Amino acid sequence: MSRLSFILILFNGLLLVACSNTKKNANATSTQGIPSLKETFKPDFAIGAALNADQILQKEPNAKVLVPEQFDAITPENIMKAEVIHPEWNRYNFELADSIVAYGKEHHMIVNGHTLIWHNQLPAFVRGMKNADSVHQYFVNHITTVASRYDGKVYSWDVVNEALNEDGTMRKTIFLENLGDDYVVEAFRLAQRAAPHTKLYYNDYNIEQPKKRAGAIALIKKIQAAGVRIDGVGIQGHWRAYNVPLADIEESIKEFSALGIEVMFTEVDLGVLPSPGEVTGADVNQTAEYNAKMNPYESGLPDSMVQKQTISYEALFRLFEKYKDKISRVTFWGVNDGQSWLNNWPIRGRTNYPLLFDRQFKPKPAFYKVIETKTKAEQKAF
Ligand code: XIL
């Protein structure tokens, strides 16, 4: 071998190593040596996680490392809900909310405020209100104070959460009963005034289902017809791993995006546990008593169920990829299986496995299949 060709081979070799390193850096996390969800899907949509208070305060060492590596969007699981942020008529508690804003800034993540108007997790002083005037005052003050404080600091707000019944009619809540049918339009009008630099969304579960979807579409059209801004709709996505309504989800993406707004999947988790018969959505008020039969996987998830969940997550993300031009964010409702709300809802004290990371923060088979829906599709395209 001549000296020149030796040098050339060496040079090529170095080039190859350099290239593969850049590629690795684009997709790999430094800590676990696994691909990164946020990097993988960056060209298509943001990838989010709901964070609990400990995670926001960076008290969980594993989450502290994993969250910024894997996610570029965060939603507070509870701490921006009215009972936490506005505990008394004249008292707001912004400490934790400020912390999530700082966390998002530090790690270049978008923060979705959750949520301004919801009939659950209301402070006691609101639950006890007896007249429409007080409810109206609370409604105006709450939206105006909270939304203006975080204008331009949170990227978006779930302005109204879960205003609909399963049949698409308006849910009878303290807001509907005291403020009338137009309260959703009014909530968006107030939010628009208070937060001109923040995106405004409607968020609900089961709105991929035909009747509830029709109700959501009518509601969104009503907001638009009033000349009020609505930027997007969040389909929560609390589905069962053995029964994901793919056809309805696809139809919803088409119909919601036809309204000229962003479509997001905002609270995705695919639980594996049996549902008590009456529970078909994600109504936090629907609960059932514990019994051992309803908690079959306490000591581990059987392979058959791991498979089912993996296949469902893969199919779901294939669909998301197909409509990547219409979907702006996919957020998981939690970081790992151990801290998912589905361990305690609708039955307390069960062992569920709904997310992409297990109790040790290790990626599950579904994680790799989700990544492949992007990376394999790319390979095919070349
Ligand atoms: C849940 C939280 O995850 C729980 O910690 C809390 O106890 C109840 O609320 N739809 C929503 C979320 O919009 O705010 C709910 O979060 C889950 C259903």
Residues 18 and 37: their CA atoms lie apart, in Å, by: 23
Ligand 1 within 6 A of CB of 52: no
pLDDT (tens, 9 = 90+) of the chain, 382 residues, equals 455 454 444 444 444 444 443 334 444 445 789 999 999 999 999 999 999 999 999 999 999 999 999 999 999 999 999 999 999 999 999 999 999 999 999 999 999 999 999 999 999 999 999 899 999 999 999 999 999 999 999 999 999 999 999 999 999 999 999 999 999 999 999 999 999 999 999 999 999 999 999 999 999 999 999 999 999 999 999 999 999 999 999 999 999 999 999 999 999 999 999 999 888 899 999 999 999 999 999 999 999 999 999 999 999 999 999 999 999 999 999 999 999 999 999 999 999 999 999 999 999 999 999 999 999 876 766 5
The atom number, within ligand 1, closest to the CA of 52 reads: 5
Q: Give, using CA atoms, the residue closest to atom 4 of ligand 1.
A: 341
The atom number, within ligand 1, closest to the CA of 114 reads: 14
**DSSP string computed for 202-250:** EEESSTTSHHHHHHHHHHHHHHHHTT----EEEE--EEETTB--HHHHH
What is the structure's pLDDT at 278? 81
**DSSP string computed for 101-128:** HHHHHHTT-EEEEEEEE-SSS--HHHHT
- Cα of 201 from ligand 1 centre, angstroms: 17
Residue 259 CA, distance from chain mean position: 21
By C-alpha distance, which of 48, 350, 15 is closest to 203? 48
Ligand 1 within 6 A of CB of 309: no
Residues 358 and 339: their CA atoms lie apart, in Å, by: 10
- Cα of 78 from ligand 1 centre, angstroms: 7
Give buried/exposed letters for 224-237 (b at 16+ CB in 10 A, else e): beeebbbbbbbbbb
- Cα of 158 from ligand 1 centre, angstroms: 13
Run of H or E including 147: helix 132-149
Ligand 1 within 6 A of CB of 236: yes
Residue 336 near residue 32 (C-beta atoms within 8 A): no
Phi, psi angles (nearest 5°) of residue 32 = -100, -10
Ligand 1 within 6 A of CB of 161: yes
The atom number, within ligand 1, closest to the CA of 205 reads: 10
Which residues are known catalytic residues?
A: 162, 267
What is the structure's pLDDT at 381? 61
Residue 65 near residue 104 (C-beta atoms within 8 A): no
Ligand 1 within 6 A of CB of 311: no
Instruction: Determine if the pTM surpasses 0.85.
Output: yes
What is the structure's pLDDT at 182? 98
